[in-house]
C-alpha cells in the first residue's frame, strides 16, 4: 500500500524546516504530482507540574494565527538528542524549572498529510524553579502558573488552542490521574 517515490525536489532548506515537492506512484499505477512535504525535526512538549501542583505554562505571541496564546512548554529535539533529555532541556530553557520525573505519555504526528515529524508528549512532575529563562533569540515567553484542576477545566472547555498541546494534556491527565493525583 506504500507509494513509490519517483522524484523529490527541495523548494526550501531552512534551519526549522525543509519543503519539498515529490512525484509518487501509487500501487494502482496512478501518478501523484505534485505532493508537497514539509520536513521538520521531531519535537517534544510537556504538561509540567510543580511540587505544589501548579501547571507551568508559557504565554506567547504566535504570528501565524496573530494571537497571544497560553501553551505548555516544548520545542524541537536536536539531532541525536535523547527525547527525555530534550524535554528537560526545553523546560529548563523556557521556564527555569527542573522536574523530578519526565514520563513519556505519547507520540503523535500533527499533520501526517503534510508534515513528516512526530511530537513526543510528556508529563513532567515535581517541578521547582532553579534558574532563570534562557530563551532563544526569537522567543518572548511569559511564565504563568495555574492550579492543575483549573487547567483541566481549560481542557474540558476547549480553551487550549494549540492542538498538539491539547493531545499532550489529555494523555498527561490520564497518567496524572492514574499515578500522581493526590
Query: Is 90 exceeded by the pLDDT of residue 70?
Result: yes
CB count within 10 Å of CB 97 equals 24
Tens digit of each residue's pLDDT (9 = 90 or more) over 46-66: 999 999 999 999 999 998 899
Positions of CATH 3.90.79.10 in the chain? 43-180
| Cell (9 digits) for 78 | 536536536
Q: Tell me, what's the pLDDT at 91?
A: 97
How much is the average pLDDT of 75-103?
96
Give mean pLDDT, residues 117-128.
97
**Nine cell digits for residue 119:** 511530537
> Where would I find the H helices in 32-142?
83-95
Residue with cell 493526590: 182
pLDDT of residue 180: 75
Specify the pLDDT at position 15. Answer: 82
| Over residues 137-146, mean pLDDT | 89
Of 69-73, 110-114, 116-120, least confident by mean pLDDT is 110-114
Question: Mean pLDDT score of the chain, rounded to an integer?
Answer: 93
Buried b (16+ CB within 10 A) or exposed e, 41-75: bbbbbbbbbbeebbbbbbebeeeeeeeebbbbbbb
- List of residues 6+ apart from 7 with CB closer than 8 A: 22, 23
Would you state the pLDDT for residue 88? 98
Q: Which residue spans within 51-157 are E strands per DSSP?
A: 54-62, 67-71, 74-76, 97-98, 101-108, 119-129, 142-147
Q: Domain 43-180 carries which CATH code? A: 3.90.79.10
Going by their DSSP bridges, the two strands 4-13 and 18-25 should be labelled as antiparallel
pTM: 0.91
pLDDT at residue 181 is higher than 80: no
The confidence score (pLDDT) of residue 122 equals 98
Amino acid at each position: 500500500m506504500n507509494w513509490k517515490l519517483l522524484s523529490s525536489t527541495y523548494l526550501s532548506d531552512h534551519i526549522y524546516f525543509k519543503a519539498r515537492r515529490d512525484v509518487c506512484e501509487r500501487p494502482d499505477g496512478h501518478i501523484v504530482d505534485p505532493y508537497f512535504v514539509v520536513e521538520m525535526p521531531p519535537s517534544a512538549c510537556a504538561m509540567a507540574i510543580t511540587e505544589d501542583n501548579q501547571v507551568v505554562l508559557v504565554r506567547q505571541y504566535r504570528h501565524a494565527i496573530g494571537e497571544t496564546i497560553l501553551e505548555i512548554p516544548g520545542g524541537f529535539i536536536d539531532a541525536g538528542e535523547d527525547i527525555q533529555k530534550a524535554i528537560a532541556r526545553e523546560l529548563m530553557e523556557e521556564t527555569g524549572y527542573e522536574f523530578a520525573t519526565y514520563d513519556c505519555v505519547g507520540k503523535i504526528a500533527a499533520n501526517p498529510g503534510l508534515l513528516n515529524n512526530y511530537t513526543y508528549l510528556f508529563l513532567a512532575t515535581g517541578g521547582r524553579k532553579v534558574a532563570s529563562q534562557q530563551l532563544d533569540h526569537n522567543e518572548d515567553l511569559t511564565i504563568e502558573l495555574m492550579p492543575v484542576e483549573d487547567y483541566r477545566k481549560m481542557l474540558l472547555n476547549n480553551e487550549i488552542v494549540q492542538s498538539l498541546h491539547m493531545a499532550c494534556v489529555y494523555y498527561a491527565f490520564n497518567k496524572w490521574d492514574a499515578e500522581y493525583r493526590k
